[in-house]
Chain A
Amino acid sequence: MDRYFRPRSLAEALDILAEHTPRPLAGGTDLYPALTGAEAWGPRPALDWMDISGLSALHGIEAAEGGLRIGALVSWTQIATAALPPALAALQQAARQVGGRQVQNRGTLLGNLCNASPAADGVPPLLILDAEIELASAAGTRRLRLGDFLRGNRATARRPDELAVALHIPPPPEAESRFEKLGTRRQLVISIVMVAGLLRLEAGRVAEARIAVGACSAVARRLPGLEAALRGAAPGDVAGIIGGATLDPLTPIADIRGTAEYRLSAARTLVARSLGA
């Protein structure tokens, strides 16, 4: 028997989650395709969904704590068209490359995170911003760093009674980030590798480097070793440092889109390009 909850307030939603633990539904751009896959080889599974689209508290991008708070219902199109600081440029570039305009108009950034695909385009741009996810339940709210929230392929730290209500981005660095996506076709493509990178210079030296790589491990990863190695480097040395670095936390697998070796090599190239090197 299908269940479809339509709460009108956050409190109501959290009560429903506490009692029934349905799957939260926002733009539907992951849940409906999954349903299509599930019913392809057998009877249609029963649905157990809670539609959160009526929760006005989850709308909007607003300034908060010196940074930004992005509500759970904010769509890719809203991200792409908002006036945001340059450190969020990678996120905005990713927003224009997730699916087609139809998906961008409906799909939400938070949904992309909760879906927890290793190839989620939203993750690397947020990892380099040290974003945190706010989880609410009837018992209270908590915040997790994105890297702690994502636990693995399609796995997150969200408890069944919790709702991801917002994303918090701390005050971002004064530097422009860049998103590099590698796919086999131009539009509507699942990434083979994607990278978000940012380089902040002070007095002609790298003061800070932030780099995250997706689709090369079960969860997208920052590259702390390389970031540290780049600190203090002259801009002209960046390419060489990247070329010689071990991309340690990355553990790519081979699949239909590429071999593990290819992914590592492509990641290195894209890291350099994301940093303008």
Chain B
Amino acid sequence: MNAQPPAGIALSINGEATSIMAPPATRLSAALRDSLGLTGTKTGCDAGDCGACTVLLDGAQVCACMVPLAQAEGRAVTTIEGFSATRWGRALGASFLAHGAAQCGICTPGMVMAAAELLAETPAPDEAAVEAALGGVLCRCTGYRAITEAVLAAHRFLDAPPAPAPEDDAVGARLARIDGPEKLDGSALYGADTAPADALWLRPIRSPHAHARFRLGAAPPGVTLLTAADVPGRNGFGIYPHIKDQPVFCAHTALYRGDCVAALVGAREAVLAAELPIEWEPLPALDMAAARAPGAPLVHAHLPGNVLTTGRVISGTPATATHSADIAIRTGFVEHAYIEPEAGYAERIGDQIKIFASTQAPYMDREEVAGVLGIPQEDVRIIPSACGGGFGGKLDVSLQPMLAVAAWKLGRPVRAVYGRPESMAASTKRHPARIQARAGCDAQGRLTHFDFEGDYDTGAYASWGPTVAGRVPVHASGPYRVPAVRAQARAIHSHNPPSGAFRGFGVPQAAIAQEALWDMLADKAGLDRLEFRALNALRAGDTSATGQRLEHSVGLLACLDALRPRWRELRAAAAAANAAGGGALRHGVGVACMWYGIGNTGMSNPSTMRLSLAPDGRLEFRNGAVDIGQGSSTVLAQIAAQALGLRVADLHHINGDTFLTPDAGKTSASRQSFVSGRAAMEAGLALRAAILRRANAGPDAALELRQGVLLVDGAALALSETLHGEGSFDPPTIPLDANGQGIPYACYGFAAQIAALAVDTRLGTIHMQRIVAAHDVGRAINPTLVEGQIHGGIAQGLGLALMEEYIPGRTENLHDYLIPSMGDVPEIETFLIEDPEPLGPYGAKGVGEPALVATAPAIFSAIRDATGAVITRVPALPYRVLEAIARV
């Protein structure tokens, strides 16, 4: 007779009775994911801080990461997989897609399940009810407004027929994102969502000290210890070809808290429970101030003064200034806080290695893995998972090298998933900056000069430090006519976490100082702050401080023109509110502008896209650009289809697989719409030309794919072989010389934003009321996605301004490190300015980073308007706001 099966914990999942064999304290989220394969429930923090794992337990929303499986016994659990197939689930899904409410998609299941509880009670809720119900889920991409709108409108999507292929998918259409449906039903596979069944688990061992020598003991039996000695190739990686300074495993000395010294590999439970003896010898740790002090010890022996890189722009001779102003500011580390922590697996296949992981830069990952293993790049296959947010933080490799080493050495698939504290301690950050700047203008308010000195704490390893030091001086004087500029930025090593790429590469910090000076100068010159900026704004035909003549697509004045009516209205409203006397509240309105070079700084950054049409009518789009939520898959498809003259729905997508897709470069520097977009356009035009040649048709011929048959002007065209179209683009630039002269970027994005707020002058708290944003994007390929970028950038800018400050060892979670929650983001109004860029696809430029840069300066401008206080310490936490007010 068969033995009785062991009794599991019985419960109902999505209406089906089931039983789970797992210990009673198992987190419900883990049981759903690991035992049942229901990976639509995401894990973002395992601490109830992010809400990504929200499910319904007997109809009530709960964080599944804090529910012991035992407490679900006999109860009904509803997950995204079940709910998305229900009447309300379909309605919410359709509304989310229509509103652009899902970007990277990692918070989407949690948002939808939180909404599910609300809508079951209140089918047509108001905004306050939505905020109360969904406020427990954090989103890092959308700025929340689209999510709120989607939930408010969900009832209007009830029982709507399944959407047919949208009729309007041309460039400029608000096409719903093409990778949206799998984000709404939980089927999209992120880094932690899949791995070979026999994969071993890897747990990195990290230094709890900012600087320490160490000696490793032996791993317990059954667990493999990997150390520096196990790295078969170069034990180092880094963004720059000549700076591979970050070890996979430190050899003997850790240089920051979170530095990886070893890894344990084996069966999951054994690895989690294993104790590795380590002798630590803590050493003195340098912060940036100590690292700059004369005679300071060196973080890296070959870098005198701990200076990694210095970038500068020097141009012009200052004219006499009538008014002058100066400022010194200090900013903190900012954490990317993507809701998906790093995760993935590696698998050795013969002499090749395959890596499936969350990334923004598959081709750079390929290079790093090849270097670490000492094998040719062609033998490294990088398959990006769905990416649950990046913002620059997943441009550097994280777990890819160590997974590769483990899988290579052990011949078994190996997977790893970072926990939230580990993700925060180990990953790169936005550079903290100490900036001194001064500027002057003449009696009419025309700028005469701008001087800028910025020290950026680049932490223990180089990462993107040189990029920041290079990009900052170019942008430091802002999108203005400044006859004389002296700007210098240095990247300084310390024993802090490596600072890398974060939406704006140091420019947002610089813009805070620069825009504050403009407010001071405007006041001294007796000019309205917006008009001061308009007076000095760059125009087409002007020459920048790097000596670049800007011929086209300089839409800053148009942005300011769009804002001007709102500026006046909001200023009048604030004045009226202040005159009425609001007790502790003082109202203010601020304005700030920005510019941002699209693509790499004075460096080649090509992209290639490929299309093919097979005789059976299969139209393939091979697109190696990683869609990290911003929507490049959709935008590039719209461009390619438009150029080709076929429909987006006709495309079969092959995305980001270094064995299958050509190199599109990294998803960074706001470059995909511009650089890869142009490549997609060229690919579309090339395939179209091939088809037209084959059909002997004229350039205006209409193409159609109908059930696998290609029609040219209505006549079927049989293909005997597959036709190809490939397009490449590399934006033309000229590297900067020693004084920062050259053509660093082929084009620039421009924007101006207004912030309206009230300051509680007793508590120092900021009550955001409204942001109005005008962005010159050249051409909005997909306005919904562009607005999504702007909203998300504003939310991150607001976080940078008011709350975000990463402190190693102190804020390694999402309750001590605060990112904006749903109620923090005010109403946002956007104006899309389309001053076409001739090099861009259909005129398009980038918007990813430009979205963020102006927000913090606009908020600080408004705080100063309300109170007179100049914010010099960022973030402007309530106590710092009160201190700034006290200095007035």
By a beta-carbon cutoff of 8 Å, the part of chain A in contact with chain B is 2, 4, 6, 25, 27-29, 32-33, 35-37, 39-44, 47, 49, 51, 53, 77, 96, 99-103, 105-106, 182, 184-190, 192, 256-259, 262, 265-266, 269-270
Contacts and interface: CB of A to CB of B under 8 A. Distances in A.
B44 to A, nearest CB: 11
Interface string B1-43: 0000000000000000000000111010000000000000000
Contact of A103 (B63, B274, B805, B879): B63
A105 B48 contact: no
Given A2-B25, A37-B421, A106-B62, A99 B136 contact: yes
Nearest to B424: A40
Given A184-B877, A257-B877, A4 B70 contact: yes
B765 A182 contact: yes
B45 A36 contact: yes
Contact of A51 (B54, B60, B71): B71
A99 B23 contact: no
B287 interface: no
Given A28-B67, A266-B878, A101 B61 contact: yes
B771 to A, nearest CB: 15
Nearest to B64: A102
Given A6-B70, A106-B66, 9 more contacts: A2-B23, A27-B66, A36-B813, A39-B272, A96-B132, A100-B137, A256-B816, A258-B877, A262-B879
A35 B813 CA distance: 13
B802 A47 contact: no
A101 B132 contact: yes
Contacts of B803: 184-185
Contacts of A186: 135, 821-824
Nearest to B798: A185
B353 to A, nearest CB: 29
Given A33-B48, A182-B763, A102 B114 contact: yes
A184 B878 contact: yes
A131 B877 CA distance: 34
Contacts of B810: 256
Contact of A33 (B25, B66, B274, B822): B66
B869 to A, nearest CB: 15
B62 A43 contact: no
A120 B409 CA distance: 49
Given A185-B818, A187-B823, A256-B807, A106 B63 contact: yes
B802 A184 contact: yes
B692 interface: no
Contacts of A184: 802-803, 818, 877-878
Contact of A40 (B137, B419, B820, B823): B419
Q: Tell me which of A40, A77, A103 has the highest count of chain B C-beta atoms within 10 A of its own C-beta.
A: A40
Contacts of A28: 66-68, 71
Contacts of B67: 28, 106
Contacts of A265: 762, 882
A257 B879 CA distance: 8
B47 to A, nearest CB: 4
A43 B135 contact: no
Interface string B397-425: 00000000000000000000001111001
Interface in B46-72: 46-49, 51, 54, 57, 60-63, 65-68, 70-71
Contacts of A257: 877, 879
Contacts of B60: 77, 105
30 contacts: A2-B23, A28-B66, A28-B68, A32-B66, A33-B48, A33-B815, A36-B419, A36-B421, A37-B421, A39-B272, A47-B25, A49-B25, A51-B68, A100-B114, A100-B135, A101-B61, A102-B48, A102-B61, A102-B62, A103-B48, A105-B60, A182-B763, A185-B803, A186-B822, A187-B824, A188-B815, A257-B877, A262-B879, A269-B762, A269-B763
A2 B274 CA distance: 15
Contacts of A270: 763
Contacts of B70: 4, 6, 51
Contacts of A259: 879
A262 B136 contact: no
A97 B39 CA distance: 30
B47 A36 contact: yes
Top 7 A-B pairs, shortest CB-CB distance:
A100-B136, A186-B823, A40-B421, A262-B879, A33-B47, A187-B821, A187-B135
Contacts of B815: 33, 188, 190
B275 A42 contact: yes
Interface string B808-839: 00111101101011111000000000000000
Given A99-B136, A102-B48, A182-B763, A192 B807 contact: no
B149 interface: no
Nearest to A193: B763
Nearest to B23: A2
Contacts of B273: 43-44
Contacts of B23: 2, 4
B496 to A, nearest CB: 16
Nearest to A75: B60
Contacts of B66: 27-29, 32-33, 103, 106
Nearest to A270: B763
B367 interface: no
B206 interface: yes
A96 B791 CA distance: 27
Q: Tell me which of B23, B762, B763 has the highest count of chain A C-beta atoms within 10 A of its own C-beta.
A: B763
A1 B81 CA distance: 34
Interface string B129-160: 00111011110000000000000000000000
B230 interface: no
Interface string B257-293: 0000000000000001111000000000000000000
Contacts of B764: 262, 266
Contact of A188 (B65, B136, B420): B136
Contacts of A32: 27, 46-48, 65-66
Interface string B774-817: 00000000000000000000000000001101010011110110
Contacts of A106: 62-63, 66-67
A106 B53 CA distance: 14
Contacts of B442: none
B807 A29 contact: no
Given A43-B272, A190-B816, A101 B821 contact: no
Contacts of B117: 101
A4 B822 contact: no
B206 A41 contact: yes
A39 B822 contact: no
Contacts of A102: 48, 51, 54, 61-63, 114, 136
A103 B131 CA distance: 15
B24 A51 contact: yes
A190 B810 CA distance: 14
B878 A192 contact: yes
A41 B275 CA distance: 11
B732 interface: no
A77 B62 CA distance: 12
Contacts of B27: 32
A69 to B, nearest CB: 24
Given A6-B24, A41-B206, A187 B136 contact: yes
Nearest to B425: A40
Interface string B75-114: 0000000000000000000000000000000000000001
B208 interface: yes
B877 A99 contact: no
A182 B670 CA distance: 37
A188 B878 contact: no
A36 B47 CA distance: 7
Nearest to B760: A269
Contacts of B272: 39, 43-44
B504 to A, nearest CB: 21
A90 to B, nearest CB: 18
Interface string B753-781: 00000000011110000000000000000
